[in-house]
Chains A and B, each alone.
Chain A
Amino acid sequence: MIETPETDKAFKKQIKTSLEKDFLRKTLNNFFTSYRQSRGNVFADLDLEGMREDVACMKDAGIPNLSELFDEFKKNAEAAGSIVHVARDAEEANCIIAQIAKENQVKSIVKSKSMTAEETFLNDHLEKDGYEVVETDLGEWIIQMRHEGPSHMVMPAIHLSRYQVGDLFSDVTAKKQDPENIEGLVKVARKELRPKFIGADMGISGCNFAIADSGVIGLVTNEGNARLTTTLPRVHVALMGFDKLVQDYSSAVKILKILPRNATGQALTSYVTWIKGTNECATAPEEKKIQHMVFIDNGRLELAKDPIFSQALRCIRCGACANVCPIYRMVGGHTFGHVYIGAIGLILTPFFHGKEKAREIVKCCLNCQSCKAVCPSKIDLPFLIKNVYAKIQDEDGGKPFKTRMTSMLLKNRRLFHTALKTASKMQGPATDGPYIRHLPTFLMGEHNFRRLPAIADRSLRDDWKYVKPKVKNPKIKVALFGGCAGDFIYPEHGKAFAKLCEAYNISVDYPMDQTCCGLPTMMMAQMDTAKEIALQNVKAFKSGDYDYIVTLCASCGSHIKENFPKLLTKKGAVPADVQAMADKLIDFSSFMNDVVKVKAEDFMNLGRKVTYHYPCHLIRGLGVEEAPMALLEKAGVDFKACDESQVCCGFSGSFSVDFPMISKTMLDHKLDNVSATGATTLVTDCPGCTLQLKGGIKARGMNVTVKHMAEVLLEEKK
């Protein structure tokens, strides 16, 4: 049985339990690392971006026409003897399949893997009707016998150890099975399931693509059970969502080229099975297979019309969004998802299984962009997750108090900034240098894994008139987007930037009407507030004649560049001033390296040992990888490469406050990796990461200094 927490308390409890499972942690850690490697290898000589674009375009062309594709498929499949059904929802799909079983005097059923059948809880329905249903995919068979749901779309039993499988198989065979002999365990499945295939009256399969112009379905598998399921029994039922429809063979090939590579790092699975109509079957009447195709809607056709969510139907079920997700890595699929797990699971759950099942899990997203970067059909998963979160809040009416307060405060810049200044004065007795002192435990709770920074005595904007570079005849004119953390917590970042600009003859403005970029409100799914704040910022920067808008905060940068246009699109078009702001926006490292083109001879060589942390919103949000490396090389530091330098530090703004246990574990990984480099300076390009990293280093008492790239360049500058 799948039990998905529906309250905050239950969800946090489940997270805690998951984090304490040693085997799960170890196996998912290994998977996290090895998946990246094998995926990298299998795409090494291929045009991955082109392949992703192909799939996204092909799916986008099909999604508005699913009904037409269905009609064409039905005509072709029925001409070849298949019977094609439409089920409006899960219950109807299950009833149709049960009816097919009844009409054909079926007793026993074998099943090959189908996420759609998991979606409809088909087995429960058929078993209730008295049929014997046996899952034949090894992983599915294991979890079926354990009465669990899949914890991964492609590897349903990834959460189980060989010992757990060994015990289970010892019970099944009434004979002690050696858990260390995995090949032996696999042979148990081969031996035990053969008679099931041979004795079954009906086989149920899923479907990876349904080709409209031929009526052919395709199954992508490794074990060979889908071939047996579709061959041995006299009845075959294929269950699939409308989203599996594609136009033609070449569309299917686009999926086929990327699906196994992205799912498991295989160029192709062992088997791809293409089936059309009523094939030869000696045990069926007239020696022709009884063949049924069941298409389930379950909200898909409505989804297809939604301007934001329709892209969720591009999903080809490769499971990669879980493979790269730092949260999945920590807690696994039984906690991070309902039936569908991972990023796509957070999005599909409310549509397929109701908002109750999604309400808690949908909050649990770092917006680290890892899933989006790996998605083979380029679904904007983090953005859709925030929109799902917003939708659920809207439907629920009433937003949480904290959310309403934040929203109200952030919409009013003066009020917000006054509040920050007041806080800076009030915190005096509670601070310890730049950190907040240990707070009473009822306030700190699980947050003592890092020391929180104090708000600076004087913000960047307070001091701007002294800081502003004195430049005559500037060669470049820029505006600085400070961001809240850059303005009020780490004004030294902006000051370093100003000094560098003065040295390179660049004028810098700091438009005083700028405010929070609004990303925190989007993280809380306050889309209306996010829009309002975005507009305020566009207005603040609109009048200046700037060549670039530079930001030292990768998160603000990526939010402005990517989300402003999405949030402020009007009637399908992005207003010119919004686009102009997005176009002019550049992150600090890219600005210094690609625009200013700083040179190695500009810097002293202090030889300090440096490592680097890539902010999520720099590497994936803004797609910047080389600039920081080039700058560090020019600065002449002794660079120490860090493992997982591109993996999230666990900050993600309010995420780290809402889910401290996950944030802590991620920070632990990060700092262990930093420690292993032997570097004494950790450089990054985002004040948010700085906050998390500094806080963790201080709490651990590590001898590592965290610096923004701007500070390092200034210190190294001749």
Chain B
Amino acid sequence: MSQGEIIESMRARAEKAAAVVSSAATLEEAIAYAVNLTAEEGGTTLAAPGMDDAAREALGKACGEKGITLLDSPLRDKMTRIHTAFTWADRGIADTGTLVLNSNSEELRLATMLSETHVAVLPTDKVVPSMDELEGYMTDHFKNGAGYVAFITGPSRTADIERILTIGVHGPERLHILLAENLDGGEK
């Protein structure tokens, strides 16, 4: 499979799992996407754990223009009011449309678990065909003690009432994936 085919599979499978997939050529574009989406949804807050200082500065500016609050650490104080989580994804799994997030950071976990909308930037060169190819990543991740990794496929869902698929139980109600060809969040 070529990387192009892998990305296409990633997109198709993620959409099948009810994620919204879009592209971002630059970090500014990704930031604008997250901020605009938050505003469109009527959200007033955005949390962005795992972004470096430059990204946070650009985010702060973009949020300011739309009247959105960029939430600071620690998020424990703001658990009931995180509208959007804006994060990197470390890997993508093409055949299931899955995002892989290094979630060692509690801030990142709180943001991605408690928000209404999760926007994740996925560098296209980090997408692998299947879970099998993540063996090295997982081994590295856990070799130095404690760790927390999340595989995320679409938004939170349930079918516990009459088996009717319903989106958004305890986790984010919406998941947006921004495929980014020339971006890299770096290994965390």
Residues of A within 8 A of B169 (CB): 138, 186, 189-190, 222-225
Q: Is B158 touching A186 in the complex (CB atoms < 8 A)?
A: yes
| 8 cross-chain pairs, A with B, having the tightest CB-CB distances, nearest first | A224-B171, A277-B146, A139-B160, A272-B151, A224-B170, A224-B156, A280-B106, A223-B169
**Closest-CB distance, A215 to chain B (whole angstroms):** 8
Check A227–B171 contact: CB distance below 8 A. Answer: yes
Write out, one digit per residue, whether chain B residues 92-133 have a CB within 8 A of any chain A CB (1) or not (0).
010111100000111001100110000000000000000110
Q: A267-324: which residues lie under 8 A (CB-CB) from chain B?
A: 267-283, 288
Q: Is the CB of A182 within 8 A of B147?
A: no
Which of B113, B139, B151 lies in contact with A214, CB distance below 8 A? B139
With contacts A256-B131, A270-B153 known, is A279 near B13, CB below 8 A?
A: no
B145→A81 contact, CB < 8 A: yes
Question: In chain A, what residue has the closest Cβ to B162?
Answer: A162
Q: Is the CB of B166 within 8 A of A183?
A: yes
B1 at the binding interface (Cβ < 8 Å) = no
List B contacts of A106 (CB < 8 A).
none
B157 at the interface (CB under 8 A from A): yes
* A280 touching B76 in the complex, CB below 8 Å, given contacts A227-B113, A271-B150, A273-B150: no
Q: List 17 A-B contacts (CB under 8 A).
A: A27-B163, A156-B160, A157-B160, A162-B162, A182-B164, A222-B157, A223-B171, A228-B113, A231-B113, A256-B131, A270-B154, A271-B171, A273-B148, A276-B142, A277-B145, A277-B146, A282-B74
**Interface residue? B79 (CB, 8 A):** yes
Q: Are A186 and B74 in contact (CB under 8 A)?
A: no
Could you say which of B114, B134, B161, B169 has the most chain A C-beta atoms within 10 Å of its C-beta?
B161
Choose among A79, A155, A264, A279 the residue that contacts B147 (Cβ–Cβ < 8 A): A279
Contact of B96 among A27, A81, A267 (CB under 8 A): A267
- Quick one: closest A residue to B105, CB to CB? A280
By a CB distance below 8 angstroms, the chain A residues around B145 are: 79-81, 276-277
Interface contacts beyond A138-B160, A228-B170, A271-B153: sample of 13 additional A-B pairs, CB < 8 Å, sorted by A? A34-B163, A138-B161, A165-B161, A186-B166, A214-B143, A224-B113, A267-B17, A268-B93, A270-B17, A270-B152, A270-B155, A274-B142, A281-B106
Residues of A within 8 Å of B157, CB to CB, are: 222-223, 270
Q: Give Cα A223–Cα B154 distance, bound, in whole angstroms.
A: 11
Chain A, residue nearest B149 (CB): A274
Contacts of B16 in A (CB 8 A): 267
- Interface assignment of A158: CB less than 8 Å from any CB of chain B: yes
A189 surroundings in chain B (CB, below 8 A): 169-170
Report if A194 contacts B (CB, 8 A): yes
- The size of the chain A interface, using a CB distance under 8 A, is 68
Q: Which residues of B contact A228 (CB under 8 A)?
A: 113-114, 170-171
Verify if B52 is at the interface (C-beta below 8 Å from A).
Answer: no
B105 surroundings in chain A (CB, below 8 A): 280
A551 to chain B, nearest CB (A): 41
Q: Please tell me if A36 contacts chain B, counting CB pairs below 8 Å.
A: no
Cα A161 to Cα B161 in complex, Å, equals 7
Q: Is A136 an interface residue (CB 8 A)?
A: yes
B161 touches A136 (CB 8 A): no
Chain B residues with CB below 8 A from A231, complex form:
106, 109-110, 113
Chain B residues with Cβ under 8 A from A250's Cβ?
A: 132, 135
Determine the chain B residues whose CB is within 8 A of the CB of A282 once the complex forms. Answer: 74, 76, 106
Whether B64 sits at the interface, judged by CB under 8 Å, is no
Q: Which of B146, B161, B172 contacts A276 (CB 8 A)?
A: B146
Q: Are B161 and A157 in contact (CB under 8 A)?
A: yes
Contact B80 A138 (CB under 8 A): no
